[in-house]
């Protein structure tokens, strides 16, 4: 019987147990990270943000930012617009196995583990929010409200859909998307009870541009071996858990202490890899830890939970309100590297483009079992990447730990391939 | 010339090879059990004893396999895919280009270049279908010793299909076939075909030249025939196919200048 259908006392007991397990998963990883030799005091700001379950983290994020939350899935809703409306944009995601197990009984077996974990966490604590913004990306996300109901999540926040044109290269798709963004603006204004002015939007765009600049420096630090890939991922994981300017300030403080000398990693050619594919979400750092154990260094990635957790800087040429909204719409649609789009050659080109800068010899492609967009793409990318001399490995996994040894064996052998 | 020792700490068995200058002097095997390091050490001691040699004669120990981190005295640790490639390439006289390895818990397909380096490999995920565990289960269920598998399956008159490749489902499928009175040899033959299909699927269809099969189950001629039928190419098996990985680990000592 699924937990949702259990009698109230049993259900309460199951949920209490699950909540303990969810918290324990984060605590274990955080304790392990704090014990690492390369842990610095400057990481504390990020570790603290991640120190609670994601639902509780949401409440903390609202408190830290001093703004009501606006919950999001995926990366296509312009954060600047939400921020300018006075909300804290909060991407809801979870890497908790216990949370995923809690929701499993109410959902098909091959549901995206990430969404299953999100639903489990929301069952435990839906965290009050002004609303949801859901871009219609993959099939699972598109059915998310239905899954909220199936999992009996107690969340009455208003849901606003963004209908995402899957063809980016067509003018009518771009126009439809621009209309969607204007409608989102109206929705946010209704929720906030006030208009989004040009100045507020300019300020928000500037705040996210500063965050993007800080991320760029972090990327560089990772490429140069000054910042371990695992820490990079952790810093990015904390992005939505703090006010954007506070996160940027914490990153700046960290950057100031990352010594400029290069470590061995830069010279270690065959061990330098690009990590692509499905998101890897805290506290499920199984793969990043195994990559480290296998002697592989992720010097660049395109995960929407890491380097791509928020888009690049929006270039503004026309500072009118229309110009700002258009620029945001363009950068969040045209710039998006999610594989749900039909015409997305940019994904493979992005890997080639980063190759010279980051100096990697191979691509590790992570497929979350049940994540169809990335699963399919892992097959499409293999041939073009290999044709360009990049070694490639596809790893299909989920949130469980039982395939650790199997994955490690493959990663170690992959490292040896020249 | 000092001795080189290679140990493969696998999920179901510990295999050890003792060699001098790459020439195999002794091979040993014991089941995996808690305290792997002590078991491996005892295996080495018994090998040295049979060779009438002492520990002083040992130049270095190389370890591979799932338990490779559990053996403290290792001079070199090698991943089992690289060890498999190195061992089989050398033992095949440099002929092997395609390898299928069936271990206790995993199934691997490797492709090598003309220098014996791994150019590509595939490995099953956490599902144990088509691995040694599958055969152990069948041996228990059908009550046929593993070394009789080939002889028994050759007696099958009908070609049955085993629909499940999942160990758990295959078990219940075998149970229901037995309950319906299906002859054991037919079930066994179907099992060989099912594993062969899975190995072939891992390898892909573009196989040219012979395929080298190693790992414990490679001694099962019934499986070899099934794989041959499936891939329609020659399947080659070395004399002691379960020791190629341990031997490959030992070769890493030479590469590291320790042997
Ligand atoms: S794209 Fe993949 S990881 Fe993301 S929500 Fe959809 S199925 Fe899940």
Among B13-22, B132-141, B223-232, the minimum mean pLDDT is found in: B132-141
- The number of residues in chain B equals 259
Enumerate residues 6+ apart whose C-beta is below 8 A from B4: B18, B19, B20, B22, B58, B59, B60, B62, B250, B253, B254, B258, B259
Is the pLDDT confidence value at A157 over 60? yes
Instruction: Give me the helix-helix angle, A229-237 and A198-223, nearest 10°.
Output: 160
Write down the mean pLDDT value for chain A: 92
Residues from B in contact with A at Cβ < 8 Å: 66, 79-82, 105-106, 117-121, 123-126
> Which 8-state DSSP code applies to residue B241?
G
Question: Domain residues of chain A, as ranges?
Answer: 8-415
Whether A409 sits inside 8 A of B121 (CB atoms) is no
Q: Is residue B13 included in any domain, yes or no?
A: yes
Quick: pLDDT tens for A68-120.
999 999 999 999 999 999 999 999 989 999 999 999 989 998 899 999 999 99
**CA A347 – ligand 1 centroid, Å:** 16
* Residue A269 or B42, more confident: B42
Query: Domain check: are B71 and B176 in the same one?
Result: no
- Residue B156 pLDDT greater than 90, yes or no: no
Residue A48, token pair as written in the block: 């603290």
- pLDDT, mean of residues A377-386: 93
Which pLDDT score is estimated for A417? 87
pLDDT at A265 over 50: no
Ligand 1 centroid from CA A371, angstroms? 5
B157 and B224 share one domain = yes
Cα B81 to Cα A407, A410, B21, B65, distances in angstroms: 12, 8, 22, 9
Give the nearest partner residue to A406 out of B106, B119, B121, using CB atoms: B106
- Examine the pLDDT at A3 and tell me if it is beyond 60: no
**B26 within domain boundaries:** yes
Q: Which tokens in the block code for residue A38?
A: 């390369």
Higher pLDDT, A406 or A180: A180
Query: Which residue of B lies nearest to A405 if distances are taken between CA atoms?
Result: B66
Write the CB contacts of A212 (distance below 8 Å, at least 6 apart in sequence): A310, A311, A312, A313
Are A413 and B125 a contacting pair at CB < 8 A?
A: no
Is residue A204 over pLDDT 70? yes
pLDDT, tens digit (0-9, with 9 covering 90-100), for A327-367: 999 999 998 999 999 887 888 999 999 998 999 999 999 99
**Whether residue A115 has its Cβ less than 6 Å from ligand 1:** yes
Q: Is residue B46 part of a domain?
A: yes
- Cβ of A368 below 6 Å from ligand 1: yes
Angle between helices A113-124 and A97-104 (to 10 degrees): 90
Measured distance CA(A295)–CA(B70) in Å, rounded = 18
- Checking if the pLDDT of A16 tops 80, the result is yes
Model confidence pLDDT, tens digit, residues B159-200 = 787 776 666 777 888 888 888 899 899 988 988 888 888 888
Q: Which ipTM was obtained for this model?
A: 0.77
Q: Does A65 contact ligand 1 (Cβ within 6 A)?
A: no
pLDDT at B141 exceeding the cut of 90 = no
Name the percent of chain B lying above pLDDT 70: 95
List the one residue out of B143, B111, B140, B132 whose CA is nearest residue B223: B132
Report which ligand 1 atom has the smallest distance to the Cα of A113. 8
pLDDT exceeds 50 at position A53: yes
Task: Say what the pLDDT of residue B112 is.
Answer: 95
Question: Domain check: are B80 and B126 in the same one?
Answer: no
In terms of CA atoms, which chain A residue is nearest residue B67? Answer: A405
Please give the distance, rounded to the nearest whole angstrom, from the Cα atom of residue A16 to the centre of ligand 1. Answer: 27
Q: Is there a single domain that holds both residue B70 and residue B118?
A: no
Q: Same domain, yes or no, for B30 and B78?
A: yes
Which residues in chain B have Cβ-Cβ distances shorter than 8 Å to A410?
Answer: 81, 121, 123
Q: What is the mean pLDDT of residues A38-47?
A: 96
Instruction: Answer whether residue A260 shows pLDDT above 70.
Output: no
Alpha-helical regions (H) of B57-166: 80-91, 132-142, 149-153
Residue ranges in A143-195 assigned as alpha helix (H) = 144-150, 171-192
A369 has pLDDT over 80: yes
Q: Among A73, A91, A278, say which to mutate for ligand 1: greatest number of ligand atoms within 8 Å of CB.
A: A278
For ligand 1, atom 7: residue with the closest CA: A371
Within a domain: B124: yes
Across A373-412, b (16+ Cβ under 10 Å) vs e yields: bbbebbeebbeebeeeebbbbbbbbbbeeebbbbbbbbbb
Q: Are residues B143 and B86 in the same domain?
A: no
Cα separation, B15 vs B68, whole angstroms: 12
Query: Which residues of chain A neighbour B124 with C-beta distances below 8 Å?
Result: 406
- In this prediction, residues A13-38 reach a mean pLDDT of 93
CATH code, domain carrying B250: 3.30.420.40
Query: Which pLDDT value is given to residue A163?
Result: 95
Domain that holds residue B153: 107-236
**Mean pLDDT, residues A123-149 taken together:** 92
Same domain, B81 and B117: no
Residues B138 and B211 in one domain: yes
Contact at CB, B125 and A397, closer than 8 angstroms:
yes
Q: Report how far ligand 1's centroid is from the alpha carbon of A154 (Å).
A: 23
Q: Do B7 and B34 lie in a common domain?
A: yes
Q: Of A200-209, A279-288, B141-150, which range is least confident?
A: B141-150
In terms of CA atoms, which chain B residue is nearest residue A418? Answer: B119
The reply to whether B248 and B187 lie within a common domain is no
Contact pairs from chain A to chain B, CB under 8 Å: 41
Structure token digits, residue B171:
């078990």
Q: Is B232 in the same domain as B245?
A: no
User: Do B84 and B125 fall within a single domain?
Assistant: no
Tell me the per-residue pLDDT of B40-86, one tens digit each, with 9 for 90 and over.
999 999 999 999 999 999 999 999 998 999 999 899 999 999 999 99
- Percent residues over pLDDT 70 in chain A: 95
Contacts of B50 (CB under 8 A, 6+ apart): B26
Chain A residues close to B101, C-beta within 8 Å: none
Residue B99: inside a domain: no
Q: What is the DSSP letter of B159?
A: -
Interface touch A416/B118, C-beta < 8 Å: yes
* Residue A1 confidence (pLDDT): 44
> How does residue A55 score in pLDDT terms, banded at 50, 70 and 90?
low
The pLDDT value recorded for residue A128 is: 84
What is the count of structural domains for chain B? Answer: 2
Cα(B65) to centroid of ligand 1, in Å? 34
Q: Which of A412, A415, A418 has the highest number of chain B CBs within 10 A, making it the mutation to test binding with B?
A: A412
| B58 inside domain | yes
């Amino acid at each position: 019987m699924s937990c949702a259908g259990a009698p109230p006392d049993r259900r309460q007991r199951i949920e209490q147990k699950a909540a303990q397990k969810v918290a324990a998963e984060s605590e274990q990883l955080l304790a392990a990270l704090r014990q690492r030799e390369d842990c610095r005091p400057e990481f504390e700001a990020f570790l603290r943000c991640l120190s609670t379950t994601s639902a509780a983290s949401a409440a903390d994020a609202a408190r830290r930012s001093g703004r009501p939350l606006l919950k999001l899935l995926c990366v296509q809703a312009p954060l600047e617009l939400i921020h300018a409306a006075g909300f804290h944009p909060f991407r809801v995601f979870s890497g908790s196995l216990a949370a995923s197990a809690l929701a499993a009984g109410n959902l098909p077996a091959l549901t995206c583990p990430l969404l299953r974990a999100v639903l489990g966490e929301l069952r435990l604590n839906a965290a009050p929010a002004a609303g949801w913004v859901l871009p219609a990306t993959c099939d699972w996300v598109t059915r998310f409200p239905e899954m909220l109901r199936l999992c009996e999540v107690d969340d009455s926040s208003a849901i606003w859909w963004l209908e995402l044109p899957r063809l980016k290269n067509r003018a009518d798709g771009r126009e439809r998307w621009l209309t969607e963004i204007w409608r989102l603006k109206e929705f946010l204004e209704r929720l906030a009870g006030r208009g989004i002015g040009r100045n507020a939007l300019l300020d928000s765009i500037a705040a996210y541009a500063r965050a993007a600049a800080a991320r760029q420096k972090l990327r560089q630090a990772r490429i140069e071996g000054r910042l371990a890939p695992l820490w990079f991922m952790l810093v990015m994981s904390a992005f939505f858990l703090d006010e954007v300017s506070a996160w940027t300030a914490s990153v700046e403080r960290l950057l100031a202490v990352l010594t400029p000398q290069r470590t061995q990693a830069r010279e270690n050619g065959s061990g330098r890899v690009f990590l692509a594919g499905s998101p890897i979400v805290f506290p499920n750092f199984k793969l990043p830890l195994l990559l480290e154990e296998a002697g592989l260094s992720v010097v660049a990635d395109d995960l929407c939970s890491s380097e791509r957790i928020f888009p690049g800087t929006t270039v503004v040429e026309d500072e009118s309100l229309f110009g700002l909204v258009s620029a945001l719409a363009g950068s969040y649609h045209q710039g998006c590297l999610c594989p749900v789009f039909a015409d997305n050659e940019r994904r493979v080109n992005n890997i080639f483009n980063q190759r010279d800068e980051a100096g990697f010899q191979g691509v590790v492609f992570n497929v979350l079992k049940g994540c169809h967009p990335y699963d399919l793409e892992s097959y499409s990318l293999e041939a073009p990447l290999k044709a360009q001399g990049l070694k490639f490995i596809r790893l299909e996994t989920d949130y469980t730990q039982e395939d650790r040894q199997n994955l490690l064996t493959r990663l170690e052998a992959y490292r040896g391939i020249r | 010339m000092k001795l080189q020792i290679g140990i493969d700490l696998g999920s179901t068995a510990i295999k050890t090879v003792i060699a001098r200058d790459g020439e195999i002097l002794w091979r040993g095997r014991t089941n995996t059990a808690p305290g792997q390091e002590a078991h491996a050490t005892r295996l080495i001691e018994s090998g040295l004893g049979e060779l009438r040699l002492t520990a002083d004669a040992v130049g270095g120990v190389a370890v591979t396999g799932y338990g490779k981190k559990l053996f403290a005295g290792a001079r070199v640790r090698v991943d089992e895919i690289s060890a498999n490639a190195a061992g089989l390439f050398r033992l095949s006289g440099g002929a092997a280009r395609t390898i299928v390895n069936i271990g206790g818990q995993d199934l691997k397909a490797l492709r090598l270049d003309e220098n014996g380096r791994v150019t590509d490999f595939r490995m099953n995920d956490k599902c144990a279908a088509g691995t040694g565990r599958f055969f152990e289960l069948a041996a228990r269920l059908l009550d046929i010793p593993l070394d009789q598998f080939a002889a028994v399956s050759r007696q099958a008159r009908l070609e049955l299909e085993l629909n499940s490749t999942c160990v758990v489902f295959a078990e219940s499928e075998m149970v229901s076939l037995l309950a319906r009175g299906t002859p054991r040899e037919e079930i066994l033959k179907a099992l060989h075909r099912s594993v062969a299909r899975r190995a072939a699927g891992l390898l892909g269809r573009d196989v040219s030249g012979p395929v080298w099969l190693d790992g414990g189950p490679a001694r099962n001629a019934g499986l070899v025939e099934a794989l041959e039928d499936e891939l329609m190419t020659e399947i080659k098996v070395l004399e002691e196919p379960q020791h190629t990985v341990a031997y490959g680990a030992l070769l890493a000592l030479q590469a590291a200048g320790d042997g």
